[in-house]
Structure 1
Amino acid sequence: MEDEAAVRNLLCAVFGDSEDDSGEDGIFSERQWEHVEEVEGLWICRDFLSNHEQQELIDDIEAVESWFTNPNENQAMRFGGLPLWALNLSALVHSCVLEEQLSKRSKILAREVISREPLFDQMIVNSYKPLEGIGAHVDLLRFEDGIVILSLVSSRVMTFKSCEDGSRKVGVLLRPGDLLVMSGEARYGWTHEINTNPAQQIWDGVPVPQESRISVTLRRLCRQN
């Protein structure tokens, strides 16, 4: 398919080429989109980035940008003027979402979101130490609909809680290389958090190791009237 070829070419442009694209350490990931049925507008792309692609991205974040070289630094933000790797990541998100929507007729992002230019213009990268999480929150309304979070290095259970009915909770497992997409109800009507209490970090009865983690969030600022 032309869309698949376009995504493949984009991957080559972002992460370079490889003779082996079939194994776990190959250049190309085996993506699988999942809709979290309990939360409208919440999607996860499993293995959005392969191990090789993740390492290339982490190298850019840590070496090219020189972020997180100081133990006291744990966050970097950009408003416009995104670095090249973030622009490429944004383009890859766009291509993969559009490909899935065209081939499977899925509605991951509304037409007005996926067609906007640019798709994202704000980025935040967080480096979490073991046992560090993030409190329950809804992203500020200064950002438009359609927010993505790329999880790297280690796994975490993220919990979503309905703003209308606090008893409604849904957990999702974010593994290294997974991409989380929030829009509509998931973006505005549910809080999300990572509670590192051991009782909250269990998946299928197995504790999730609390190791260091990096997340990359892409958003777009609301336009001024």
Structure 2
Amino acid sequence: MSKDEDDEYEQQAILEQVFGHSSSSDSSFDSDSDNCYSKWERIEKVKGLWIVRNFLSSHKQSRLLSSIASENWFTQPSINQSMRFGYQNLPRWAINLSDSICQSCSSSPSPFLQNLSMRYPFFDQMITNVYQPGEGICPHVDLLKFEDGIAIVSLESSCVMDFTLGDETVPVLLEPGSLVMMYGEARYVWKHEINRKDAGFQSWKGQLLDQTTRTSITLRKLCSSPPSI
């Protein structure tokens, strides 16, 4: 190996330690199948709600969590959320993750998701949340200052996210490595929440979930102009 090649190898190793990937073109967080089309699943009862249940392998989840940890955002128990606004302010790993989601949307069976993949930047705002066992989120619709098409990547513990419209509730299991995309009615009409009313415990199909810390990454795009009210 030449000195130049050795220097390049060393630089790549450093990047992997810091960002969890070797360069901006690296595909560390790409989905784990060349055929993303077959992995998208429509949640039939909620129009515009799509999920890829195995978007990231266990190995890629670990690398992503290491990248998040390297940011030193959550140094105290009281700090459980970090926001970044502006494409230029997103960490490199978040841009790679965004590119991977965009690629998957362009291959999806939904024409809505395919249309989303044409915008640039695909996302320019990110929230990273760390939920301790028993913590949830109240029912809400994301603010109108964000465009249609919102992605949620789940890491570590599984949880049940409820989508509600009037008296109807549709539970969706979010497993580690899963990707959810909310579009249209799922984004603007249905509320979503993580319900913790029953002593903090959640179950799925009659089985109690063994829940520990959960990390989620929500990616959105700011509207280019203020939304009309």
Taking structure 2 as the reference length, the TM-score comes to 0.80
Tell me the distance in 1 between the aligned counterparts of 2:53 and 2:31. 13
| Residues 207-218 of structure 1 aligned to structure 2 (within 5 Å) | 207-218=208-219
- The alpha-carbon deviation at position 118 of structure 1 amounts to 0.3
Report the AA paired with residue 171 of structure 2. Answer: G
Q: Which deviations, in whole Å up to 9, do the C-alpha atoms of 1:138-159 show, x marking residues without a partner?
A: 0000100000000000100000
Secondary structure of residue in 2 paired with 1:86? helix
- The alpha-carbon deviation at position 96 of structure 1 amounts to 1.3
Report the AA paired with residue 89 of structure 1. Answer: L
- The alpha-carbon deviation at position 202 of structure 1 amounts to 1.5
Report the AA paired with residue 161 of structure 2. Answer: M
Gaps of 5+ in 1: 1-9, 17-26
- 1:34 counterpart = 2:41: yes
Runs ≥4 residues deviating over 4 A: none
Q: Which deviations, in whole Å up to 9, do the C-alpha atoms of 1:176-205 show, x marking residues without a partner?
A: 000010000000010000012348721111
- 1:133 counterpart = 2:136: yes
Report the AA paired with residue 190 of structure 1. Answer: W
Report the AA paired with residue 83 of structure 2. Answer: M
- The alpha-carbon deviation at position 110 of structure 1 amounts to 5.4
Aligned residue for 1:107? 111
1:92 to 61, 76, 100: 100
Q: Structure 2 vs 1, CA of residues 207 and 12 (structure 1 numbering), >3 Å: closer, same or farther?
A: farther
Aligned residue for 1:184? 184
Aligned residue for 1:68? 74
Gaps of 5+ in 2: 1-22
| Residues 156-167 of structure 1 aligned to structure 2 (within 5 Å) | 156-162=159-165, 166-167=166-167
Q: Structure 2 vs 1, CA of residues 36 and 11 (structure 1 numbering), >3 Å: closer, same or farther?
A: farther
User: Is 2:40–2:51's contact at 8 Å kept on the other side of the alignment?
Assistant: yes
Taking structure 1 as the reference length, the TM-score comes to 0.81
Report the AA paired with residue 97 of structure 1. Answer: C
User: Is 1:196–1:210's contact at 8 Å kept on the other side of the alignment?
Assistant: no
What RMSD in Å do the two structures reach over aligned CA positions?
Answer: 2.2
1:117 to 117, 120, 130: 120
Tell me the distance in 1 between the aligned counterparts of 2:187 and 2:180. 11
User: Is 1:62–1:69's contact at 8 Å kept on the other side of the alignment?
Assistant: no
Secondary structure of residue in 2 paired with 1:214? strand
- The alpha-carbon deviation at position 12 of structure 1 amounts to 8.1
